[in-house]
Amino acid sequence: MDIDKIVTNNETNRNETLTQKVKRLFCNDMHERVKRIQNYLREKAEEIMHSEPYQCLFQDTETKKLVRKVMRNYNLSYQALCRLYDLREKDMHTALHGIRLAVAAVPFGRELGLEKEELHDLNLGSLYHDIGKEDMKEVIYKEGKLTDNDWQEITSHPIKTVKVIDEINDSVLKDHGYDGFSIQIKPPVRLMDLGHHKWIMYDQEQSKRQGGRQRSYPDDTIIEEPSMLAQILAITDAFDAMRDKHHYCNGRVKEGLAQNEALAELERESKVTERNKLGVHFNQYFVKVYSKMYSQN
């Protein structure tokens, strides 16, 4: 009997067992953290459905059930959920804004007749739409007037969001199935987050000739027109920003607008006027549906 061979085999088995044990403990830790993040998202969703200004969208039990179902089906990778957690640690205000939009998007999308998969994409894209701002806190909450460089950095956040999504998807391919979650963030979500600040039928060249800060971004070389999901997100994003205290007025904290004032502003920005002759910010039909949901409730 070859004693050296037996010893070698036993050593290999011992090393393999140790490796498996480390992997198991690491995976257990990952799953615990994933569970904590998922529970946090669900708890916040419940709070939002029962708070102003969104509680009027959740008067019926079926809508609440639908939101809970969508929020429960986050089969995202460990890396994807950790990036959300990191955003919360860096900028709680921006993270909560994303969660509010993710919740509000579901009844809005349902009212517009979106299918189940589209609702899931809308919810997920809303959740991640500002993750490109994760390292912009100094600029976003800057005291004093924003410079052109500051504005350029802020308007780059859709492109940075897409880069984060690409990094998440690359990590899923690299560690396929290792953490038990191998679902990538889909292309419609990527396109939605890239285009949610893009105006409809916007004349980019005329805007450049007139000068001033660009209101529709990113430019036409990156994306020509916003997708339908991006147009929906644009409305919920603007409404939440107008209702909330925010920091995009030359570093000053502004009190949020009243509900009727915010809805009126959405309507103004959905019409082609002398002020909006370069294009419109919002889909006019979608704005009417969104306003009707509030007036009915």
Domain boundaries, the chain: 31-296
pLDDT at 264: 95
CATH fold for domain 31-296: Hypothetical protein af1432 (1.10.3210)
Conformational region of residue 198, where left means phi above 0, alpha means psi within -120 to 50, and beta covers everything else:
beta
Q: What is the per-residue pLDDT across 99-111, written as a single tens digit (0 to 9) for each?
A: 999 999 999 999 9
Rounded Cα–Cα distance for residues 270 and 199 (Å):
10
Q: What percent of the chain is predicted at pLDDT more than 90? A: 47
- Structure confidence at residue 3 as a pLDDT band (50, 70, 90): very low
User: pTM for the full model?
Assistant: 0.84
Among 26-30, 112-116, 140-144, 175-179, which is the least confidently predicted range? 175-179
Inter-residue contact 253 to 247 (CB < 8 Å): yes
94 pLDDT band, cuts 50/70/90, is very high
φ, ψ (nearest 5 deg) of residue 52 = -75, 145
pLDDT, tens digit, 9 for 90 and up, residues 179-197: 555 578 899 999 999 999 9
Q: For 56-89, write each residue's pLDDT tens digit.
A: 999 889 999 999 988 887 777 778 888 888 999 9
Average pLDDT in the chain: 82
